[in-house]
Amino acid sequence: MTLLNWQQKWLDHLRGERGLADLTLKNYQRLVCQDIERLAAQQIEQPQQLTVAVLERQLVNWRREGLGERTIALKLSAWRTFCDFLLHNDALADNPALSVKAPKIPKRLPKNLDVDSITHLLDLPDDELAVRDAAMMELLYSSGIRLAELVSLDMDSVDLRMGQLRVTGKGSKTRIVPVGQHAIKAIRRWHKVRTAWLGAKPEVALFVSKRLNRISPRTVQQRLNYWGQQQGIVGDLHPHKLRHSFASHMLEASGDLRAVQELLGHANLSTTQIYTHLDFKRLAEVYDKAHPRATRTRK
C-alpha cells in the first residue's frame, strides 16, 4: 500500500480505536497529508522509502516555507504518530521520525484576567442574549471547561441541585467537575429564556443560538469578544482566557496542582505545571518584602 492508503487506515484507527474527536483528526490529516502528496511527487510513495534523511529534508522544507517552531513541532509529532502506526503494522522496521530533532519551543505563559476584571466582565445587562452569554461565561470561568466542551453540553449534562457538570473532553473522556453558585444562578436564568425561545421545539443542547440550534464555537468566540470590548477588557477575550483565569486563580488559592489537573481534564501533569509560573511576579514581591536577606535587583 502507498503512504496515502496507509494514512487513511491510520485516521480510521485514530477515530475508531482511540476515539479522537473529528477536529483532532482533521488536524492530523492537515499536518501530514500535504507532505505525503509532496513526497509522492518525488517518487517516495512506499513506507519503506521513509528514512531519517527524507524526514529531515521535510523539516528543511518546512523552515523554507516560513513555518513557525510550534507548527514544525506539531507536524513532526504527527509524523512520529503516523510512523509509529506503520511500525506496529509491520510496514516499517523502525520509526525514522524519532531520530529527527524537534525544535525547542519557548513556553508562553497563558494570559489571564484578575478577579476584579472577571467580576466586572460578568456584570451584564438583563436582555435575553446577555443572559445566555452570562451563563456561558460563568460556566467557562466556574468550571474551567474548554470551548468544545461548552458547546457540546446537553441539558442533562448539568445537575444544578448537586452543583456539578458532566463533561466529555479530549479523547472522549468523561469527567465530573463542580459548578459554582454564580454559574448555577446564571444557568437557571438562562433556562427560562431558553424555554421561551424554543417553545415546543425539541432540542437537547444546553446553549442554543437565535436560530434555535446548538450554538457554534464561532458564535461563542464572537460573543465573548463582543463583551470584552463592551466591558472594557484589555486585549482579546476568548474562551481559553477564561479557562486560564480559572486555572491560575484555583492554583493560587489552593496550591493543589493535582486537583487543578483533574478539573482541567489534563492527561499529563506537565501540561498543568505551566500555571505554577503565573504568580512568580507576586511571589517575588512577597519575597522582596518578607525575606531578611532578599537583595533582588529591581529594574
Candidate list 132, 146, 223, 244, residue with the active-site label: 146
End-to-end CA distance of the chain: 62
Tell me the C-alpha distance between 118 and 141, whole Å: 9
Q: Which of 75, 132, 223, 243 is flagged as catalytic?
A: 243
Alpha carbons 89 and 83: distance in angstroms, whole number: 10
Query: DSSP secondary-structure letter at 127?
Result: S
The DSSP call for residue 208 is: B
28 is catalytic: no
Catalytic residue among 57, 111, 170, 185: 170
173 carries an active-site annotation: no
The span from the CA of 97 to the CA of 80, in Å, is 5
- The CA distance from 242 to 138, in Å, is 9
Question: Which grid coordinates belong to 178?
Answer: 463542580
**In the structure grid, which three cell numbers stand for residue 14, read together?**
485514530
| 141 assigned to active site | no
**In 10 A of CB 123, how many CB atoms?**
9
Amino acid symbol at 181: Q
C-alpha–C-alpha distance, residues 73 and 105, integer Å: 8
Q: Say whether 240 is catalytic.
A: yes
Q: Which residue has cell 425561545? A: 197
| Cβ atoms 163, 181 nearer than 8 A | yes
CB atoms closer than 10 angstroms to residue 281: 9
Contact call for residues 146 and 169 (beta carbons, < 8 A): yes
What DSSP state is assigned to residue 268? S
Q: Which of 75, 132, 244, 275 is catalytic?
A: 275
What residues act catalytically?
146, 170, 240, 243, 266, 275
